[in-house]
Amino acid sequence: MVASFLKSFFSELDQAAPDARELGPFFDLVLSLKQNLPISINLLRELAGITNAKEGISFSKGGILFSRIDRRYYRLCRLQEELSRLDLKKAAPGVSPEDYVFSQIDFARYREVAEKDFTTVFSDGLGDFDESFFKKNFFLGRDEVRTTIEESYEKTEGLRKIKRENPLILSIMRALESSLEDSPLFTPKEINEELKELLDFVNFHKLMPDSMNLPYTKLLFPLLVLSLDNVLVSHADGMTTKLSFSAQGDLMGTFQPDGKAWTRVLIPSEHKIKKLTY
């Protein structure tokens, strides 16, 4: 019985030191569930598929995590490209480095955007940032920013063309393409929502009423993060991003835009211990 297995699984986690190897049976269960079941556990499925293989597995297509990591790589590539063109010696006398850098930004690139980039970077990419990012930078919510983008561009064959340039839409497009203020790769809240769907689907709390008080997400989330250690992500240009852990317990991503190493925190250690109960 699935509910019985889950009760045993979480009870054992509650008594053991965190070890990603404990996830094996849980991942086997997730992968055994048919894709057409009326539950949305896409993130759990992807984590199971990635980490249910030997260490150093490389993944390079589809899925929530790959897309999020790939967009982070894309943004770093754009920044690296801009940095490689900068020459502060060419700044006019009296111009600050900040003003010079801003003057070198190519806002004209946002007049026409390839449909693929429009979808992946400027539409799907909205999910890489939390609500506070949009409020702080544009005084708008995420949905309002999405509407602003959609209404500012018209769709043509393979392209989106800007209807009328203005500082707001150019700032939005620039931020989505280059900002490093993105949210954690995935969060306890996301895992909590998927776990709730899974437990509800198998009538867990009706069949196992004595298990109501176990902190399911708190037990599971750290192991899911740990399971990504040494995973490699292959990008379309042939470069590879390696996931690893810092001494402080942060999940790190070492990217290689233009062959230059950029190491970024993908999930801060504080998110691994955040208390969240079902």
Domain ranges of the chain: 2-63+184-272, 67-178
What's the token pair of residue 255?
A: 């990217």
Which residues are CB-contacts of 51 (< 8 A; sequence separation ≥ 6)?
A: 20, 23, 27, 57, 227, 228, 231
Furthest C-alpha separation in the chain: 75
Cα–Cα distances in angstroms (integers) from residue 189 to residues 132, 137, 185, 186, 236, in the given order = 16, 24, 12, 8, 30
d(CA 29, CA 18): 20
pLDDT band (50, 70, 90) for residue 255:
very high
State the pLDDT at residue 21: 73
- At 250 the pLDDT is 93
What is the predicted pLDDT for the residue at 36? 79
Q: Residue 239: its pLDDT value, please?
A: 93
Tell me what the mean pLDDT of segment 254-274 comes to. Answer: 84
Number of CB atoms found within 10 A of residue 237's CB: 10
pLDDT of residue 274: 42
- Band the pLDDT of 175: cuts 50, 70, 90: very high
Q: What percent of the chain has pLDDT over 70?
A: 82
pLDDT for the residue 278: 32
* Higher per-residue confidence, 134 vs 86: 134
Q: What is the pLDDT of residues 184-215, one digit of tens each?
A: 999 999 999 999 999 888 888 777 766 656 67
Angstrom distance (rounded) from CA 46 to CA 191? 12
Cβ contact 164:11 at 8 Å: no
Q: What is the mean pLDDT of residues 240-265?
A: 93
Pairing status of strand 58-59 against strand 232-234? parallel
* pLDDT at residue 56, as a whole number: 44
pLDDT of residue 172: 96
| pLDDT tens digits along 15-73 | 766 666 788 889 999 989 888 788 999 999 999 888 654 444 555 567 899 999 999 99
Task: Work out the end-to-end distance of the chain between its first and last CA atoms, rounded to an integer number of angstroms.
Answer: 21
How many Cβ atoms from other residues are within 10 Å of residue 56's Cβ?
Answer: 9
* Residues 137-163 pLDDT 10s: 999 999 999 999 999 999 998 999 999
pLDDT for 216 equals: 81
CA 151 → CA 15, 29, 80, 165, distances in Å? 53, 44, 30, 12
Sign of CA dihedral 232, 217, 15, 265: positive
pTM as predicted: 0.87
